[in-house]
Structure 1
Amino acid sequence: MNEASSEVPTYRTSAWTREQAGGLARRDDVVAPVIYPPEQRLDPDLHIWDTWLVRDRDGTIADVGGYRIIVALTAPSDLLPGKRHDVATLRYFYSADGRTWATGGRIFPETEPLGQRQWAGSTVRFAANGADDLVVYYTAAGDETHEELTYSQRIVAATGGSIYGDDDGVHVEGPFDHETVLRPDGDRYETEAQSRGMIYTFRDPWYWEDPETGEAYLLLEGNTPVPEGADDCAGDPALQAFNGSVGIAHSPSGDRTDWELCDPLLDAVCVNQELERPHVVVRDGRYYLFISSHRHTFAPGIEGFDALYGFVADSLFGPYEPLNGDGLVVTNPANAPFQAYSWLAFGHRDGILVTSFFNYFDYDRPTLDDVALLPESEQFRRFGGTLAPTVRLQVDGRETRIVDTLDHAHIPLPDEDLPETFDERAARLAAERDSRSY
């Protein structure tokens, strides 16, 4: 724990263990239906992938002049999909009905963000005294002082911007001030120089104010340092390289740019290298911590999937237990294992909803590396590059199950009635059949 922050309680980092993850399996209640391409992409001129909602400080989805807003990583759609991460740019989109989205433009219209490109983060509206300030936390990927592409990562806060909505749509105005607020410390979180794994991570900042205390935190994806010769993973260096963690930083002053690293909330040492885009949903007094991860980032001996994984605790600082026993919440079907990725869960009155992006479809090879073996025309055809159908979860304590899917890019409004679930639809159809039999 960071002892300088007296508001942070004493806690022990929770672990996702090999025993827990060793039980991962595709079960009917965690496998999403096969996704088919929508009639129209959200924006045909753009590849769109990691996506998040603009939220208010209390975590609710912001209503800005009658609009909901999403921010996403984007790249031109004429770029080979596999190259999109090298030029990722933050853009925003808005909708009055949660179904039809308009492109608003770059999130930083008047200033250049830090890094050679920008990776995922979170965006928060601070509404006070009639002004709607917009704060964007993002990952600055690569060192902008280098000509060649680099993979360093740091957490940036962009402040000074504003957002408003009118009859013409949603408008983001700058200029923004971009400030690096967090770097790995080499003690709690591995630096790039320390990394021995296939992927290095210090990214994906997620702003969160704990409803129990009002304290402000940033969740992030990191790696737990495991020195060579350590006893972790029975001393097996091949397993020690898989050391993903869900990190957290605290703002002792409440200032939007003042952050101090704390011990990780959760680590997956010996289990998984990459716990992406951590975020929390509070429901019925429980804290649900979600992350996305890939099949190929699991340690040897564990058969995981490209999927949304989740953990539950009675407080923000745990201890966390994996949902459904092994952590698996939503995954792709076996015949379309890479159809969606980068899931984001958010609360709705009828449960928890999960959005993601439509990744590679009509593709069942065992690894995404094989995409590069396809002709370029096929790489373009098989990449979705837009939002996937929204998944609806039923949550009962430490258990979850998929009960329905909505349309592509459908993010329901707070008072919107949701359609029948799979079970309700089946029961209604059965009743109709029975009534016709008399």
Structure 2
Amino acid sequence: MKKVLMASVLAVTSVLPTTMLHAEPKSESPAAWSHQEASKIERDSSNTAPLIEKEEIEQMAPNHWVWDTWPLRNKDGSVAKVNGYKVIFALTAPDDVLPGKRHDIATIRYFYSKNGQDWKMGGEAFDPEQAYGSRQWAGSAMVEDGKIHLFYTATGRKGEDGITYEQRLALANGEMSVSKDGISFSDWSHDIILEPQGEYYQTEEQSEGGILYSFRDPWYFEDPKTGEEYITFEGNSAGHASEQTCQPRNIGDEQYQGSTEVSNEASAYNGNVGLAKLDSEDYTEWETLPPVLEADCVNQQLERPHFVMKGNQYYLFVDSHKFTFSPGIEGPDGLYGFTADSLYGNYEPLNESGLVVANPEDNPFQAYSWIVLPNGNVISFVNYIDLGDVSLKEVGAQPVDFQYEHFGGTLAPTLKLSIHKDETRIVNELQYGKVN
């Protein structure tokens, strides 16, 4: 898909010159992505990404796997350009590690480029020994007056006897320098800025060892309608897993409830999108707020949530896997989206079902970790290619050579997304790793 099919693209809205309005959580429950809505998920020509050809993949980082990636942005969400350089951050691991084990030793590295496509690896963003967590997972980064604020997920704890999956939200504040030799960072300080308390977001103990536990992926967002600053993140609805039930709003309207039998196992799925509001000038203190969206009884993981503004509309995007949908719902590995006219609005799924970008049916795991940029470009990484009948959960049981051979571990082709009101469409495929 090389031709532009539609000219309309996402655009960043400038800060409105009006009286500041405070976004307050609604007293009722957050917006729900219902079983009824998710049951409409279907691939078609508007949402299916072009096939990634294995022979066209080129590794961007010598001797390293690269996966979850995010650009350095300005406060308004636009991609930053510092003295002519664009910067991206990514989770990385040596490429002699089995792809499935890369998460256990992930470190954040940065890359820089003049044209937003030919990336030079600059090394580790900061010394991981000085950071929180036994390893650091995905987040976001914002530059302000030469200072960088890098939000990340602190996973596990240093000195732990074995790999654990405790997750806390952390912040690294540092200095950014630009020279003829490129980009460098220094003078980092680290703080834990948010931990689950069990009121709005499930603690690891409350999860009772369930399907998958999440409290991660902090994404900085300045609300142009109010000027207030937030981080959004992936979580699970609070409460002990064994006590959670499906509520009518999680299922659908009365007719759907009466005609559809929802599996008893669905109550174990409780992904949500969380929010916290800035409460200090140095970005180290945040007020935990209720979630803006829940997928109880629908999906366990709403990964890498992020907002994009177009006009007065809020667009909330998340990533999810096929295997994290509850029984009875067939959703592909893909990018999903929702829209509302206020931050705590009643988010409605884009394209009726929520599906925005899907991997093609004959290569269902080719890409993952999509991020929508303000201009409508969508970046992701090459995941597993040409698995045949092997599912994502079965990859780890395959021969070692098979696992290495079929993993991409580099940035995927960038997609161009058009959005109009509550509908989206893939309109073009750009170069591998293009960020602008």
Which category of TM-score, normalised to the shorter sequence, fits these structures?
0.7 to 0.9
Q: Deviations over 1:137-174 (max 9, x none)?
A: 11011122412111100011112x11132221111122
Cross-structure match for 1:325: 352
- Kept in 2, the 8 Å contact 1:109–1:172? The answer is no
Label 1:91 to 1:114 Cα distance change in 2 as closer, same or farther (>3 A).
same
Task: Pick one of 156, 160, 163 that aligns with 1:142.
Answer: 156
1:434 corresponds to which residue?
none
Displacement of 1:304 after TM fit? 0.8
Q: Secondary structure of the residue that 1:371 maps to in structure 2?
A: helix
CA distance in 1, matches of 2:25, 2:152: 28
Query: Could you tell me which amino acid in structure 2 is paired with residue 150 of structure 1?
Result: T
Letter of the structure 1 residue corresponding to residue 165 of structure 2:
Y
Q: Check whether the contact 1:216–1:250 (CA below 8 A) recurs between aligned residues.
A: yes
Q: Which residue pairs with 1:66 in the alignment?
A: 84
Q: Which residue of 2 aligns with 1:185?
A: 197
Task: Name the SS of the counterpart of 1:85 in structure 2.
Answer: helix
Give the aligned partner of residue 96 of structure 1.
Answer: 114
User: Which amino acid is the alignment partner of residue 200 of structure 2?
Assistant: R
Is 1:360 paired with 2:384? yes
Match of 1:9 among 20, 24, 39: 24
Aligned 1:8-407 pairs, distance under 5 A: 8-11=23-26, 12=28, 13-37=30-54, 38=56, 40-109=58-127, 112-127=130-145, 132-159=146-173, 161-174=174-187, 176-196=188-208, 197-227=210-240, 228-233=242-247, 238-348=265-375, 352-365=376-389, 367-407=391-431
SS in 1 for 2:351: helix
Describe the shift of the 1:178–1:229 C-alpha distance in structure 2 as closer, same or farther (beyond 3 A).
Answer: closer
Residues 201-210 or 366-375, more deviating? 366-375
Task: Tell me the distance in 1 between the aligned counterparts of 2:45 and 2:128.
Answer: 48
Letter in 2 for 1:333: P
Q: Is the 8 A contact 1:221 1:244 kept in 2?
A: yes
Query: Does the CA contact (< 8 Å) of 1:215 and 1:254 recur in 2?
Result: no
Deviation of 1:77 after TM superposition, in Å, equals 0.8
Deviations 1:161-202 (A, max 9, x none): 11132221111122x111111000101000000004310000
What is the alpha-carbon distance in structure 2 between the residues aligned to residue 313 and residue 346 of structure 1? 18
> 2:263 touches 2:327 (CA, 8 Å); kept in 1?
no
Which segment is superposed worse, 192-201 or 253-262?
A: 253-262
1:394-417: CA deviation from partner (whole Å, max 9, x where unpaired): 1111000111101111123xxxxx
Question: What CA deviation, in whole Å up to 9, does each residue of 1:209-266 have, x standing for no partner?
Answer: 1111111101010000245445525797521110000000011344401101100000
**In structure 1, what is the Cα distance between the partners aligned to 2:304 and 2:244?**
28
Paired residues of 2:415 and 2:428 also in contact (CA < 8 A): yes
Cα distance in 2 for partners of 1:41, 1:207 equals: 29
Amino acid at match of 2:24: P
Q: Aligned residue for 1:425?
A: none
SS in 1 for 2:346: coil
RMSD, aligned α-carbons: 1.7
Q: Taking structure 1 as the reference length, what is the TM-score of the superposition? A: 0.88
Aligned AA for 1:361?
A: I
Checking the alignment, whether the CA contact within 8 Å between 1:54 and 1:69 is kept in structure 2 is: yes
Partner secondary structure for residue 304 of structure 2: strand
Moved more, 145-154 or 385-394: 145-154
Q: Deviations over 1:73-121 (max 9, x none)?
A: 0000111111100000000001101120000110004862111111110
CA displacement at 1:56 relative to structure 2: 1.2
The structure-2 alpha-carbon separation of the partners of 1:383 and 1:10, relative to structure 1 and needing over 3 Å to count, comes to closer
Moved more, 308-317 or 110-119: 110-119
State the distance in 2 between where 1:410 and 1:187 align: 40
Between the aligned partners of 1:360 and 1:110, the Cα distance in structure 2 is 27
User: Does the Cα contact within 8 Å between 2:278 and 2:287 map onto a contact in 1?
Assistant: yes
Give the Cα–Cα distance (whole angstroms) in 2 for the partners of residues 325 and 150 of structure 1.
Answer: 38
Structure 2 distance, partners of 1:140, 1:88, is: 11
1:65–1:164: 8 Å Cα contact kept in structure 2? no
Q: Residue type of the partner of 1:187?
A: E
Gaps of 5+ in 1: 1-5, 413-438
Flag the 1:230–1:221 CA change in 2: closer, same or farther, 3 A.
closer
Equivalence for 2:11: none
Count of residue pairs brought into register by the alignment: 398
Amino acid at match of 1:35: I
Q: Is the 8 A contact 1:337 1:364 kept in 2?
A: no
CA distance in 2, matches of 1:123, 1:267: 25
